[in-house]
A and B are shown apart, each in its own frame.
Chain A
Amino acid sequence: MDGARIPLVAMRDISLAFGGVHAVDRASIDLYDGEVMALVGHNGAGKSTLVKILSGAYQRDDGMIAIRGEEATISNPRDAKRYGIETIYQTLALADNVDTAANLFLGRELRTRWGTLDDVAMEAQARRVMGRLNPHFERFKDPVKALSGGQRQSVAIARAILFNAQILIMDEPTAALGPQETAQVGELIRKLKADGLGIFLISHDIHDVFDLADRICVMKNGRVVGTARTADVTKDDVLGMIILGKCPPAAVPGPGAMAVA
């Protein structure tokens, strides 16, 4: 996390407006491999929008994205996946009427040599990856709608790790989970971090953030208030950034920081 390393992801001066609403306003953020960067802020601060620009769901109006130092063109979700960017959306983005394997491979199906869907191979891989996350999961043939919230979350996470993501975006991954499953997700994040992935973590849970994240970036009203290492700031500092936009000395201020009188 020193300046000499090339960031895995560098987003510079990203702007996106929906009509008159500046969802994201000149936001800059970067992510190094093997680190968890938490993105926090009040509702509507632009956190989800910023990462959706990275994942290809939205097209930015302005700004630049660089992956490993090279400028990247991300105009749709396929492009993002090609750069190794996988996303776990807040709404999970699962198709409720099809089963687990179909969801895991949606858009990237395995095919037999005749061009038909290779359902058995997809199910075999599904069993393997789900086994790593949730060993007791057996309901591979049921439509995803019939699964519990935690199981659906496992499917969404499995989808992200199945394709060897290098950059993982997790938007409120534990919002619908109980304590045990939240701990499991935490374990997974630590393991993936050790494997060298860079992870963007959006969370409202400040305890989770301080537990898991190496650095934290606060957004307010579409602008970045500041970025800091979690070791250098306290929870109160972060709350101050979120609510007031007040940037503590240990944090690097952004365009959204309150002007110091």
Chain B
Amino acid sequence: MTPATMPARHTRPGRSSPLAAFLKATELDTRMLGMVGALLLIWIAFHLLSGGLFLTPRNLWNLSVQSAPVAIMATGMVLVIVTRNIDLSVGSMLGFLGMVMGVTQAELLPKLIGFDHPATWMLTLAIGLALGLVLGALQGFVIAYLGIPSFIVTLGGLLVWRGAAWWVTSGRTVAPLDATFRLMGGGPEGSIGATWSWAVGLIACAAVVLSLMNSRAQRKKFHFPLRPIAAEIFLGGVGCALILAAVTIANAYPWPAGSVRRYAEANHIVLPADGLFIAHGIAIPVLIAIGVGVAMTFLATRTRFGRYAYAIGGNPEAAELAGVNTSWVIMKVFMLMGLLAAVAGAISIARLNAATNAEGTLAELLVIAAAVIGGTSLLGGIGTVAGAMLGAVLMQSLQSGMVLLGVDTPLQSIVVGAVLVVAVWLDTVYRRRV
């Protein structure tokens, strides 16, 4: 009797629980569901403890913007950890890249093309991304081709790039930044408004439905087992509902009175007596984060590069014997991490409207924690981009919630650290059981 013909634990006919049947039909990952459940629990707990302050459009909108940089970097960190490496330098890279981008737009480019040039933000971003790739390539080369452990190389990087960040301006903070560049940091102008948010929401819903339909068509073509139609409809429905709920919340957060007044004056609108409601809509950094998340998920699951990264994490020798160029894959993984650190850096300095050399200090720990809470195993080979982004939101929710409750900063650190350990412990228990 081969193991394949033995009945699986949960699906003996007539004996499976409704929950197990539901999970089997929808093919949802129980771990991901567990994390979403934990996130909801934390949100509800903070909402009750803070007397109804947490689950407000304003707080949730701010939460989304605050999570963006860490979420973006966490997507790259997943691939790094999956390949059995680590990157301790992302915070310092963010700081250095942020300083370079700040100096570029505030001092370098104005000398070359003048102030308030429409291309300033593009050139700055391009320089930042290119430099991020170079930094990542340097570290990746040393790790992949010279064979030095990534822990050591990126530990060195942590010190080197932080020092370099100071060196760019001898410690001077650079401010203010280009007006268009600032939009990447969120805020009233850095959001897309109600109409565009609905457009984005509807496009996202369409994408969810199309992807479900496409996957079903593919399965039919090859006569693979199909999900029940009810499950597909359920998934599509819940997905769209969540997307539209998120857009509604984003649109429920109005501009502050000062911004409304300035906008009205600039556009010659007469303000009604009880004020004008201009919705923020989805923040631009959040859009960037979502875009990065989608791109990274695609990279990780649908490209050879992603497949090789996971294979290297599972068995580096097997990947080598299969003819995979493991060194080049690992170097690319670190280059990608550098690129994402640049994106996160751009968002961070844009939010602050200033580039400081301390930006991103200790961010690597939050990024690694986000990835690990999101299900990435430090042994390599396992991890999802979506999980890491959820992990980032979870960590940021903890911090935001504690700030709302007025918890002292040192106690916040204690709580975050404890939660990290508990989360990984729960993950270990779950993996052993499954």
Chain A residues in the interface with B (C-beta under 8 A): 55, 57, 76-78, 81, 87, 89, 91-98, 102-103, 106-109, 111, 115-117, 120-121, 123-124, 134, 136-139, 143, 145, 147-148, 150-151
Contacts of B307 in A (CB 8 A): 98, 102, 106, 109, 117
Contacts of B319 in A (CB 8 A): 95, 106-107
Chosen A-B contacts, 26 in total, with CB atoms closer than 8 Å, are A57-B321, A77-B323, A78-B323, A81-B323, A91-B317, A92-B318, A93-B318, A93-B322, A95-B314, A95-B381, A96-B315, A97-B311, A98-B311, A106-B324, A107-B319, A107-B324, A109-B304, A115-B303, A116-B298, A117-B302, A120-B218, A136-B2, A145-B314, A148-B3, A150-B2, A151-B3
Given A106-B319, A107-B319, A143-B314, 5 more pairs with CB closer than 8 A: A77-B322, A77-B323, A102-B311, A117-B301, A120-B224
Contact B302 A116 (CB under 8 A): yes
In angstroms, how far is the closest chain A Cβ from the Cβ of B328? 13
Measured CB to CB, the nearest residue on chain A to B321 is A93
Q: How many angstroms from the CA of A239 to the CA of B4 in the assembled complex?
A: 40
Question: Please, which residue of chain A has its CB at the minimum distance from the CB of B383?
Answer: A97
A107-B314 contact given A98-B307, A139-B4, CB 8 Å threshold = no
Contacts of B221 in A (CB 8 A): 120
Chain B residues numbered 52-67 whose CB sits less than 8 Å from any CB in chain A? none
Q: When A120-B219, A148-B3 are in contact, do A95 and B321 touch as well, CB less than 8 Å?
A: no
- Bound CA–CA A87/B323 (angstroms): 12
Q: Let me know if B290 is at the binding interface, CB within 8 A.
A: no
Cross-chain contact A93 with B323 (CB below 8 angstroms): no
Instruction: Return chain B residues, CB-CB under 8 Å to A137.
Output: 2, 4
By a CB distance below 8 angstroms, the chain B residues around A76 are: 323
What are the residues of chain A within 8 A of B3 when measuring CB–CB?
Answer: 147-148, 151
Interface residue? B170 (CB, 8 A):
no
A107 and B381 within 8 A (CB)? no
The docked-state distance in angstroms from the alpha carbon of A33 to that of B336 is: 47
Which residues on the B side are within 8 Å of A95 (C-beta)?
310-311, 314-315, 318-319, 381
Q: How far is the CB of A166 from chain B (nearest CB, A)?
A: 17
CB distance from B239 to the nearest CB of A (A): 21
Bound-state Cα–Cα, A207 to B319, Å: 33
- One digit per residue, 1 when the CB lies within 8 angstroms of any chain A CB and 0 when it does not, for chain B 297-313 equals 01001111001001101
Chain B residue numbers with a CB within 8 Å of A87 are 321
Contact for B303 among A103, A116, A120, A147, CB less than 8 A:
A116
* CA–CA, A141 and B179, complex, Å: 50
Cα separation A136 to B6 with both chains bound (whole Å): 11
Neighbouring B residues of A97 by C-beta, 8 Å: 310-311, 313-314, 381-382
Q: How distant is the Cα of A102 from the Cα of B311 in the complex, in angstroms?
A: 9
Give the distance to chain A from B394, nearest Cβ to Cβ, in Å: 24
**Chain B contacts for A111, CB-based, 8 A:** 304
Within 8 Å of chain A (Cβ to Cβ): is B5? yes
A172 CB to closest chain B CB (Å) equals 15
User: Contacts of A117 on B, CB cut-off 8 Å?
Assistant: 301-304, 307
Contacts of A121 in B (CB 8 A): 222
CA distance A147 to B382 in the complex (A): 17
> Which one of A116, A120, A148, A151 contacts B222 once the chains associate, using CB atoms below 8 Å?
A120
CB-based contact B304/A96 at 8 Å? no
Please give me the residue from chain B that is nearest to A92 by CB atom: B318
Given the complex of chains A and B, what is the CA–CA distance between A95 and B323 in angstroms? 13
CA of A103 to CA of B310, assembled, Å: 11
A98 to B92, CA, bound (A): 33
**Complex Cα distance A95/B380, Å?**
11
| Whole-angstrom CA separation of A155 from B231 in the bound complex | 32
Q: A109-B304, A117-B304 are in contact. Are A98 and B314 (CB under 8 A)?
A: yes
Q: Is B320 an interface residue (CB 8 A)?
A: yes
A-facing residues in B1-41 (Cβ within 8 Å): 2-5
B381→A96 contact, CB < 8 A: yes
In the docked arrangement, what's the CA distance between A148 and B2, Å? 9
**B331 to A: closest C-beta gap in Å:** 18
**Which B residues lie within 8 Å of A134 (CB)?**
2
| A136 near B4: Cβ-Cβ < 8 Å | yes
How long is the Cα–Cα vector from A107 to B219 in the complex, in angstroms? Answer: 24
* Distance of A117 Cα from B303 Cα, bound (Å): 6
Report the minimal beta-carbon distance from A197 to chain B, rounded to whole angstroms. 20
Least Cβ–Cβ distance between A90 and chain B, in angstroms: 12
Q: In the assembled complex, how far is the CB of residue A227 from the closest CB belonging to chain B, in whole angstroms?
A: 27
A151 to B2: give the CA distance in the assembly, Å: 9
Contact B315–A94 (Cβ < 8 Å)? yes
